[in-house]
Structures are given as C-alpha cells and as structure tokens.
Amino acid sequence: MKRPIAFSGWLLLLPWIAIFLVFWFFPLIYSFILSLTNYRLLAADTQWVGWANYARLLADPDFLISLANTAIFVVGTVPVTTVISLGLALLVNGRFPGRAIFRAAYFLPSITAMVVIALIFSNLYARDGYLYLLARLIGLNPPAEGFLLSEKTALLSIMAMDVWTAAGYYMLVFLGGLQTIPDELYDAARIAGASRWQQFWHVTLPMLRPVMLFVIVINSIKSFQVFVEIFVMTKGGPLNATLTGVYFVYETGLRRFDFGYASAAAYVIFLIIALISIVQFKFLKTGWTA
Amino acid sequence: MGFFAGVLAGLLCLSCGGKQPQQTKLVWWQFWTDTAIKPTVQEIVRDFETQHPGVAVELVDLTWADGHDKISIAFSSGTGPDVIELGSDWVPEYSSTGHLLDLTASADSVKPNFFMWKPGQYEGKTYAFPWILGTRVLFVNPSLLTRAGYPAEFVPGNWDELLEASKKINDLDGNAFGFGCNAAERHRLYKKFLPFLWANGGDILSPDGKTCLLGSVQAIAALEYYLKLCHTGLTDTQRRLEDAFLEGKIGFIISGDWLLKRLAAEKPDFPFVTAVIPGPNGPGASFAGGEYLAVNAKSAHSQLALELIRHLCLPENQLRFCLQNRSANPSSRKAAADSALLAQPHFDTFIKQLASSKTPPVHPQWVYIEDKLEKGIEAALYEVKTPQQAFTDAAREIQELLDQ
Amino acid sequence: MNPIKRIGGYVLLTALLVVMVFPLVWMFVTSFTGTRGGVTLANYVYIFSTNKFGLYLFNSTLVAVIVTVANVLFCFTCGYALARRMVPGGNFWFYTILIVLMVPVHIVIIPVYLLMNKIGLYDSYGALILPWLVNPIGIFMVRQYVSTLPVSLEEAGRIDGAGELRILFRIVMPLCRPVLAILAIQVFMTNWNSFLYPFILTSSEQYRTLPVALALLLGYQSIDWPQLMAGSVVAVVPVLAVFLAFQRQIISGITAGALKQ
C-alpha cells in the first residue's frame, strides 16, 4: 500500500520538480557560473575571469548609480505605499453605502498591466500632459521639458506612479487584517476610555503587525525589481537619473550581450535583496513582539 | 531482408525524386514589412529569380524591435540567412567578430558608383554594401519666420543666422519655439549633435580610431553653440518635437525623410521648407545612417548571395524602391542623380545634404563610446557640467575604452 | 455619525476615487478621440487592421488560458502531494517553494534566455508557456487549503475501492473549488499582464503579447497616442471583465492570502 502512494506522490509533484529544476535551480547556479566568466554572445573566446566582473562592478559608476537609485526607489516608495494603503483600508473598512464601489475603484490600478500604466503616465507627465498642466495650475514650477525628461523629477515621478499603482492592492491586504481584529478588543478599549486615536495606536496597529510585515517585505522585494516602468518611460535617463539595478542588468546582459558582467550585477542585487529581506524579518518580528 | 532493403531504397529514391529539378534556396532577412513597400521589394526579388533560374529567394521579415536580437542569436549559434540587411551602426559589431563575409574584392570594382562605404568597412576590408541611406536636414517653418520679421524666402545660412532667427521666433509668444532640441533620448540625442560637431571641424575619434578628439576646442565650441540653440527653443523627445512642428509651433527641427512622409500623410497643405543644416560659416554637415547589405560568412551560396546584393543595389532597382517608399537617399550615385527622384519635393535637399554627411566611427566598442558621448552631451544639456567639463570627462572615459 | 462628518467622508472618498480612476478614464476617452477631435472608432480600426492587435490579442488569450488551465491542474496535484506528505522529503520540496518566492526574476532571466535559445524554444509559444506551467504561490495556496480538509473522505473513498486518481479528481478536487477559483483568476490576470519574460524570450510579431506590443510601439513614428490608448484598452478590458465578474473572490482571495503568512 505504501509504495504505490509514494510513486504516485512523485508523479503528482513532478510538474513542480521539473519547473523548479529547469527554470529556477539551474538558472540560479548557471547565473553564478556565468558571473565568473567573460561570456559574450558574439565573441568566440570565453574565459574564466574569477572575481574580475565583481571588481569591475564596484568601479563602474553606472552600476553604483543604479544601486543608489534603486535604494532611493525602495526607501521612497515602500513606507509611503504602506501608510497610504493602510489609510485607504481604514477609510473603506466601515459599513457604509457604496463602500464596494470605492474599494473596487481604489483597487483598479493594481490589476492594470504595468505597461499600460506606464504608457498613460508617459503622456500625463509630458510637457503638455494633464498632470503637468495641473502642477502648473496649482503654482508648482515643473521643469520646462516635462517631468520625465528632467533629471530632477524623473525618478520621483515614477515613484509617485508606483505608489498610485500599488496602494489599492495593499489596501485589500490591510483590510483583510483589519477584519480579523475581534470587536471585543475595541469594546474593552472603549470601556477603558481610550480615544479613537488611542484605539488605533494600541489595538489596531499592534494587531496588524503580521500583515504589515507581509506588506513591507513583499513590496520591498517587488520595488527592488522595478523594470517595466523604466523601460517604457525613460530607458534609465536622463543622466542616469532613473537607471535602476534590474535595468542595468537588462541593458548590459540583453542589449549588449555582456552576459558574464550582467550576471555578476544580478547576483550582487540578489544578495542585497536577500540581506534586506532577512533584516526586515528579524527587525520587524523581534522589534514588535518585544 | 535484401528485398526489403531494395524496396526501402526505392521508396527513398522516389521521395527524393519529387524535388527535381534541384532548386537553390537563398534566404534574405530584411526589414521592409510595410504593405506600402513590401510588394516592390518582392517584385525586385522576382526579377532576380527570373534572371537566375533554379534560384528561389525566401524573404524573412524582421522589425527594428526584434532584428538586432535575432541576428545576434543566429550568428552566435552559427546559423542565419545568406543575405542580411543591417542598420549601418550594427555592421561593425558583426564584421569585427568574423560573422560577415569579406566582400572587398567585389566592392572595390564598383566603389565610385556608391555613396558611404565607410560603415560597411572594418580594418581596411569591406563587409557590407550601402543600400538605402538616410540623412537628416533642417525643416523650417516659413510662417513663423515671416512673423518674426524675416522676408518670405529667408533660410538661415550659417550658425549666427540660425541662432538669431531661432531666438526671434522663440520671443514671439508662449506658443512659438525656435529650435527643436532633443532631450535625453537614448540613441537619438547624439545624432542631433554630431552635425554641429562635424561642421565645426571636430570629430569623435581620430582617423586611425586610436585617439578620442572630444576634448578639442572645436568639439567644445560646437557643444556650446548647440546648447545656445537649445535655449532658444523647445526641449523634448524627437516624436513630440515633430508633433509640435506639425502643429506649426516650432521654427526649426532636424529630421529625416520619414517626416516628409508624415507631413504628406497628415498635413498635405502645411507650408514648410527644407534646407541643408547650416555650419559656422555656410552649409554644414549632417548625420547619415542607412541600410546595408551583407553576406553571412557561413552562407553555402555566398556567390549567389553577392549576386542578389548587386541586383538590389542596381540604380534602376534602387530608384524603383525609393520612389515607392518615398526614400530620398539611394546609395547609388546614378539613382541619386535621376531626374524622377530629384523631381520629388524636397528630395534635392536630402541628396545635396548627403554629400556633406558623415557616419559615426566604425569601432567594435562603438556601443560603449556612443553611451559615453551621449551622456556627455546630456550632462551639458542638463547643466550638470559645463560643456568644457562634460567633453573633457567624456573624452577621458572614451580614451580609456580605446586603450583597453 | 453626524451628517457633516458623513458628507465630509464621502467628499474625501470621492476625491480619492477621482485620483485613482482618472488616468484610466483618460485612457478610455483618448482611445475614442479622433485626430481632429470628436468621437471615433478609427483608432480601434487602425490597430486591428494596419497594426496586428488581433494577433497580439489572440496570443495573449491563448497563452493566458493554457497557463491558467495548467496551473489549476498542476498546482492542485503538487499542493495535494505536499499536503498529504506523499513524497519522502516533502519538507524539502515545500522549502523550494518558499525560496523561489524570494528569488528575483532578473537573476534567472539570462540563463533562461540562453537555455531557450539552446533548446530551440526562443521566440515560440513554448517560451511563453513552459516556465509558468505551475507556480509556487499556487502550490502553497492549495497545500494550505488541503491541509484543512479532513482525511476521512479520502479514506472512505479508499474503503469503497476507488482508485487514487478517482479519489483525487472526484473527491478532493471538487472540495478545493474555492481555492482553485481564486488561483485561476490570479494566474490569468498575472499572466495576461506579464511583460518581462514574454519581452525577453520572444522577438517576432508572431508570438508577441499585448503588453510587449504596447511597450514596443511607444516611440514609433507610425502610431499616435489615441491609437496607443486604443491598444491599451484592448489590453485592459479582459482583465477588467474578469475583475468585475469575480470581484468578491478576488478581494477575499487577497485578504485571506495575507492572513496565512
């Protein structure tokens, strides 16, 4: 009886085993091997170069800028998205007529393809686009060439767009968290004379910690990989202002076919993401349960 | 057993006998997919097939979005077509890595008949034939010039006149701009600047390709002038600049023959003038690129492939193509001098401009050199660095690449 | 709540609604705008006749449907096998799922690109479909769900003499319908919108999906904004339809998904 079960178990799991080995495990190893070579698409002679690609990365201003931009992107968007999406969740959490419509509307950007969003905002941000005209109308002084063609505003504009896109999704995640908080806790707080603000601070927020951990970690990992927006809107320019890590990997690896160098860059970014995820887990878990 | 073998052999023979008479298949990867021009390309190819019985040419369509990838992958895996159409800036990448057939012998005999061999050459050898070229000229809006107080037929003839006219138009009102200046747009910005660099006697590399010349006085002066021009106009992407030109908002932009096509399709009555891009003291230089034809080094039918290239490059075939496609710059000198072509509105400007047009240097590291050059111009355009500083830095970085 | 506060609340909610939907409304409106103003369908006619949006729509649909069906089937079998500990070292395989969830795509894309070239699948439907036949999040969802189901039903089936396959597909699968529905919707929407893999693993028009086509069209001389927006609407409407049809499942899927972490 045992043996046929084990056999069918392997059979049932086979799709994952195959996909995992071919499309995740092998690439992860192969990518590291590539990063130690000077493999290029059209050149015939591929050699081991040891850690030379990694050394070259540390001296490549473009790569360092791409890391800095990625850091700005993550640090700038993740907290803002978290706060805004929590705010939206609190707004639509109550029972009031029409709340389904508001929830659906806020969620809409997150089901829209990033390519489409990037196209729309490319127009809205341009010199004669509506967002640009709006900025002028309310007395801001937007750059003459449009938001995306100025090195001062390009990255910021893409970050704002990203917050707009992601807020609705994380709103729903927070909403799920809010709905698991038992009413008795609020009742108890009210009896103890807590104001609404105190209730939020001492009941809602602590109860939302696991959800918040999820939101921050997932959003950070996603933000580290920002690519489509850059590809469609700015191609890394102007003046490298929007050159991000993954865009750097794409350009060196798949535009210039410098596979060894690009793989090394990919690995460095991977290690940074892994490190930060671990730190986030540690910090948020221990910091909160204490 | 023997009986079966005999039957089997018979069957095999039958199946191969079906293909007689033996045909040679020649594969050509090309980029003309538009329904307005593809039939003409097919007709020209059909003529070739008629002249070469037993040869069938298979056209495989590429687009500018996927072409570079496909060609690179095919070469790297040792496959690919017999004949390939290449963008002029792609040729060095493949010729320097040995993927293209050396066509020097056959090219040398027809050299005087064509413009612009340089992009097809590498280290003294020729790897690609120039086919359909394209240069950029100055598009002028005469109504804005008149409003700015110029006589009806005025066209700026040198740098000072261009700058002054641009300034006057720009000062008209908030909806009129002088010069259309390309913002940071990858692979476009440098093409707009190079005419000014060359007209001022500057260059990117020395003729031997060993020294970067961007730090020279001429180069820096050209950049300074270009920035002054930009300050008397609108900075945006090429596409948006052309939109603004069509709306009558821009006095001058530099563009190619595609804009002629667009103007004819969208605003046939729009009044505009084309002129040779001015230099410091008279007619100046321009940037040219184009389509080149090469043979795969691994082609089994290299002689026929070369024949096909020669056929495509014949003056009469280029003429057929250019008239149908509204392309102003055939590579054949004879085609360029044809009265039918010169009779097309504005084509004479393009043909005249081609004579003073240059192409970027042929260098295996070009993609990186281009990047440094473009970022240098960007840095000055966005006022992060002075022109002097921007080009001194770019020259140093490019020199490092060259010295590697 | 007093009426002033209530009205204030609605004003805030509505202002936010405008901010969130304005860009999408702009897309719809622009797609119906003619070159000289006015309402027109010309942009749609253009993208389907002169441009090949019919083909891109077909490709996107074909790939998304195949990938969705495959994921429902395979995530179910894999999730079930893990939940019922049918494989020795089951924990190891469970961890591979968690690890893959953390691996950024950019690090595997170059080897996958080279691999696809090597096995001749670069620029084919295979390249669009194969890597996504089964996905870790889906397996995880099914595993968690099956773990909450009592084993007694399966044992009852065994006692009745039903084969393993019959038990799997006739008894367990129907019970998993809620989780499989959420899974199907999520996979469909993610795949429909995906850009990076299709963009890098294909190159010709023949295998181009809608997002790739749209990204490549920007900056072309032969297309203008209204046409581009018409193409965007074509890319958005199917997902919007799925969302409107399954709103409740999608929203509860996301809220429930978060709680399990």
CA B222/CA A134 separation, integer angstroms: 37
3-state secondary structure chain A: CHHHHHHHHHHHHHHHHHHHHHHHHHHHHHHHHHCCECCCCCCCCCCECCCHHHHHHHCCHHHHHHHHHHHHHHHHHHHHHHHHHHHHHHHHHCCCCCHHHHHHHHHHHHHCCHHHHHHHHHHHHCCCCHHHHHHHHCCCCCCCCCHHHCCCCHHHHHHHHHHHHHHHHHHHHHHHHHHCCCHHHHHHHHHCCCCHHHHHHHHHHHHCHHHHHHHHHHHHHHHHCCCHHHHHHCCCCCCCCCCCHHHHHHHHHHHCCCHHHHHHHHHHHHHHHHHHHHHHHHHHHHHHHC
Is B329's pLDDT higher than 60?
yes
Q: Which residues of C touch B63 (CB under 8 A)?
A: 204-205
Closest C-alpha to B49, from B23, B70, B67: B23
What are the tokens at B273? 């003038």
Is A90 within a domain?
yes
Query: Per DSSP, what are the bridge partners of residue B290?
Result: B133
The model's pLDDT over A146-186, given as tens digits with 9 standing for 90+, comes to 999 999 999 999 999 999 999 999 999 999 889 888 889 88
Chain C residues 31-60 with CB within 8 Å of chain A: none
* Residue A83 is assigned to a structural domain of this protein: yes
- What is the per-residue pLDDT for A286? 60
CB contact under 8 A, A256 and B367: yes
Closest-CA residue in chain A for B92? A42
pLDDT on residue B13: 43
Q: Does A106 touch chain C (CB under 8 A)?
A: yes
The reported pLDDT for the residue numbered C219 is: 62
**Residue A119 at interface with chain B, using a CB cutoff of 8 Å:** no
Residue C45 belongs to some domain of the structure: no
Preferred mutation among C11, C14, C20 to probe A, highest tally of A CBs within 10 A:
C20
Query: pLDDT under 70 in chain C at which residues?
Result: 1, 219-223, 256-261
Residue C62 sits in which domain range? 50-259
Can you tell me the mean pLDDT for B74-81? 83
Query: CA dihedral defined by B320, B324, B326, B327, rounded to 10 degrees?
Result: -40
Q: What is the pLDDT of residue B238?
A: 87
- Total structural domains within chain C: 1
pLDDT, average across residues B77-90: 89
pLDDT of residue B308: 96
Does the residue A52 lie in any domain? no
Exposure string for A22-45, b = 16+ CB within 10 A, e = fewer: ebbbebbebbbebbbbbbbbbeee
Residue A290, pLDDT score: 34
Residue A8: closest CA among chain C residues belongs to which residue? Answer: C86
Task: Give B-chain residues touching C123 at CB under 8 angstroms.
Answer: 70
> What letter represents residue C260's amino acid?
K
Flag if A240 and B99 touch (Cβ within 8 Å): no
B9 touches chain C (CB under 8 A): no
Contacts of C237 (CB under 8 A, 6+ apart): none
Q: Per the CB < 8 Å rule, is C117 touching B70?
A: no
Window C:137-176, CB contacts with A under 8 Å: 139, 164, 168
C-alpha dist (Å) from residue B118 to B298, B315, B359, C4: 23, 20, 8, 77
For C37, phi then psi, to 5°, come to: 80, -175
ipTM given for this complex = 0.91
Contact yes or no for A151 and B384 at CB 8 A: yes
> By the 8 A CB rule, do A27 and C107 touch?
yes
The Cα C77–Cα C90 span in angstroms is 14
Q: Which residues of A touch B183 (CB under 8 A)?
A: 145, 149, 238
Residues of A within 8 A of B384 (CB-CB) are 151, 239
Q: Is residue C221 part of a domain?
A: yes
Cα nearest neighbour of C261 on chain A: A214
* Residues on chain A touching B93 (C-beta within 8 angstroms): 42
Q: What is the sign of the dihedral through the CA atoms of B159, B161, B164 and B166? A: negative
Residue ranges in chain A whose pLDDT is less than 50: 1-3, 288-290
Are the Cβ atoms of A41 and B235 closer than 8 angstroms?
no
pLDDT of residue A279: 86
Confidence at B22, pLDDT banded by 50, 70, 90: low
pLDDT tens string B111-131: 999 999 999 999 889 999 999
Confirm whether C34 is domain-assigned.
Answer: no
Asked if C221 lies within 8 A of B262 by C-beta distance, the reply is yes
pLDDT in tens, B168-221: 999 998 889 999 998 878 888 999 999 999 999 999 999 988 999 999 999 999
The pLDDT of residue B364: 81
Q: What are phi and psi of C17, to 5 degrees?
A: -60, -40
Of C105, C202, C79, C98, the closest CA to residue A23 belongs to C105
Q: Partners for B (CB, 8 Å, 3+ pairs)?
A: A, C
With CB atoms and an 8 Å threshold, state whether A8 touches C86: yes
Q: Minimal Cα–Cα distance from C198 to chain A, Å? A: 12
The closest of B217, B225, B168 to B196, measured between CA atoms, is B225
- pLDDT confidence of residue C220: 64
Window 74-103 of C, Cβ < 8 Å to B = none
Q: Does a structural domain hold residue C24?
A: no
Chain A: residue whose CA lies nearest to C233: A116
Q: Under an 8 A CB cutoff, do C203 and B66 touch? A: yes
Mean pLDDT of B267-293: 94
C35 chain-B contacts, CB cut-off 8 A: 266
Which domains, and CATH codes, for chain B?
A: 23-135+289-358 (3.40.190.10), 137-276+365-403 (3.40.190.10)
Inter-chain touch A4–C96, beta carbons under 8 Å: no
- Which chain A residue is nearest to residue B379, measuring alpha carbons? A239
Domain membership flag for residue C30? no
* Residue among A8, A121, A253 whose CB faces C23 most closely: A121
Per the CB < 8 Å rule, is B63 touching C35? no
Q: How far is B6 from chain A (nearest CA, A)?
A: 45
Task: Assess whether pLDDT exceeds 50 at residue B4.
Answer: no
Q: What is the DSSP letter of C149?
A: S
Please report, for the domain that includes residue A164, its CATH number.
Answer: 1.10.3720.10
Domain around A232: 61-289
Residue A49 CA from chain centroid, whole number: 33
The candidate with the shortest Cα–Cα distance to B187, out of B374, B377, B390, B361, is B374
CB-based contact B331:B131 (threshold 8 Å): yes
**Residue in the block written with tokens 């490019």:** B398
Looking at the partner chain, which of B72, B98, B236 has a beta carbon nearest the beta carbon of A149? Answer: B236
Give percent of chain B above pLDDT 70. Answer: 94
Q: How far apart are CA C101 and CA A16, in angstroms?
A: 13
Chain A: residue nearest B234 by CA?
A: A145
* Structural domains of chain A, count: 1
Using CB atoms, which residue from A127, A149, A235 is nearest to B186?
Answer: A235
Contact C20, A105 (CB under 8 A): yes
Give which of A122, A147, A149, A254 to mutate to test B binding, by max B Cβ within 10 Å: A149
**Per-position DSSP letters for C79-114, written without gaps between them:** HHHHHTT-STTHHHHHHHHHHHHHS-THHHHHHHHH
pLDDT tens for each residue of B208-237? 889 999 999 999 999 999 999 999 999 888
Residue C124 DSSP symbol: S
Residue B363's identity, in one-letter code, is: H
The CATH code of the domain that includes C57 is 1.10.3720.10
By the CB < 8 Å criterion, does C119 face chain B? Answer: no
Alpha carbon of C68: minimum distance to chain B alpha carbons (Å): 28
- Angstroms from C203 CA to nearest CA on chain B: 5
